[in-house]
Amino acid sequence: MRSALPLVLWLLVAGPATAERVDGVAAVVGDEVILISELERASRPLIERIARERGTLAPAQVKQLRKEALESLINDRLIAAIAKRANVVATEEEIDTAIAGIALEEGVTPEQIYQAAAAQGLARELYRKELGSQITRMKVISGSVRSRVTVSEAEIAELYLQRYASLEPGTYIRARHILLPWPKAPTPETRAELLKFAHELRERALEAGDFANLARRYSMLRSAAQGGFTVLRESEVSPEIAAQVLPLEPGAISEPIQTDHGVNLFQMINSFDPSKVELEEVHDVLYAELLERKTAPEFERWIESQREQRYIGIVLPELQ
């Protein structure tokens, strides 16, 4: 569960970015409704982020993003109904443990996690309530889906060979990475604006300790979904990045680094030599990664079977 928690933090704090709430019903799931305001809360941050980086989105692109957000909300309603019937609920102790896990993974204190949520509009109790809902969701999925998923020792050993034993000896760096790409046909003014924004993001990360959250929200790399997590080989890092990143202490954040691709921010996690990493040291981490990979397709099959058993009606005309 812990590996998914930073993503949970992002999902929770991203929502309140919406300044207005539109009343109305977007969809009906069984005897419950999904409000248009909920849909706006779920979809607008992502739409705004993509539009900010790529320019104005076509109506068809916006429609597709909203449809995907609505499908996710429908799935959440189905899972919540299953949890209610089975009397599955997150305890206060589980919520405390989850917050401690988020804080440990992000390298901050639990109080800083609350502060980061508050800065995005979620008061302490509301944050705990919504995090509890996410934990309940995970418990339902774990009981209904993960019980069908197995990870063998042979699979763990194979991933270890790919991840460590097959790498050449040397120093590698684990870090989090945010890339803010240059706009099309950048001018000195637009470059200066992007650089200024990168400095603002760095300050926010230093103040709130939420670099991973910011990476998920603003980075345009595929690693954004994993909080910007990446592994760099010291001998292959470009000079401009090496000069800033290699001297960093764990947890430290680089100054904005300009490259041909855009402006970069890095947060150092640690460094390692794969030739010195034993399987026993990373066994549990590799197991959790493989479990997550195999759970995703099984979840899709399971949730589809649940959808077939409940009435689902899309009310919003433009998403029908």
Residue 247 placed within a domain: yes
Residue 157 lies in a domain: no
User: Within this chain, do residues 137 and 191 fall inside the same structural domain, yes or no?
Assistant: no
Confirm whether 114 is domain-assigned.
yes
- Specify whether 89 is located in the same domain as 210: no
Over the stretch 125-143, which tens digit does the pLDDT of each residue have? 988 988 888 889 888 888 8
Cβ partners under 8 Å of residue 57, min gap 6: 47, 50, 51, 65
| pTM beyond cutoff 0.85 | no
Tokens read off for 206? 């230093």
What is the domain range of residue 256?
170-272
Is the same domain home to 177 and 206? Answer: yes
- The answer to whether residue 145 sits within a structural domain is yes
* The residue type at 251: G
Assess whether 112 and 15 both reside in one domain. Answer: yes
- pLDDT tens digits for range 91-121: 999 999 988 887 876 677 888 888 877 876 7
pLDDT tens for residues 38-93? Answer: 999 888 877 876 776 666 778 888 888 899 889 989 998 999 889 988 899 999 99
pLDDT for 52: 67
Residues 246 and 129 reside in one and the same domain: no
Total of domains in the chain:
2
Q: Are residues 290 and 259 in the same domain?
A: no
Using a 10 angstrom Cβ sphere, with 0-12 exposed, 13-18 middle and 19 or more buried, the burial of residue 105 is middle
Indicate whether 226 pLDDT > 60. yes
Q: Are residues 183 and 140 in the same domain?
A: no
pLDDT at 240 over 60: yes
pLDDT in tens, 190-207: 888 889 889 988 888 887
Q: Please report where in the chains the tokens 């419950």 appear, as a residue.
A: 32
Domain for residue 128, yes or no? yes
Band of residue 276 on the pLDDT scale cut at 50, 70, 90: confident
Indicate if 31 and 144 belong to the same structural domain: yes
Do 143 and 291 fall within a single domain?
yes
In a domain, residue 158? The reply is: no
Cβ atoms 204, 197 nearer than 8 A: no
Phi-psi sector, 58: left (phi>0), alpha (psi -120 to 50), beta: beta
CATH number (domain holding residue 181): 3.10.50.40
Predicted pLDDT at 54: 64
| pLDDT of the residue at 45 | 76
Q: Which residues contact 215 (CB under 8 A, 6 or more apart)?
A: 176, 177, 178, 223, 224, 227, 228
The answer to whether residue 279 is domain-embedded is no
Query: Which residue type, as a one-letter code, is found at position 261?
Result: H
The reply to whether 268 and 304 lie within a common domain is no
- Does some domain include residue 163? no
pLDDT score for 221: 87
Q: Are residues 244 and 140 in the same domain?
A: no
What is the overall mean pLDDT for the chain?
Answer: 83
Strand order in the sheet with 172-181: 229-233, 172-181, 262-272, 257-258
Mean pLDDT: which of 95-109, 161-175, 240-254, 284-298 is highest?
240-254
Are 142 and 178 within one domain? Answer: no
| CATH classification at residue 16 | 1.10.4030.10
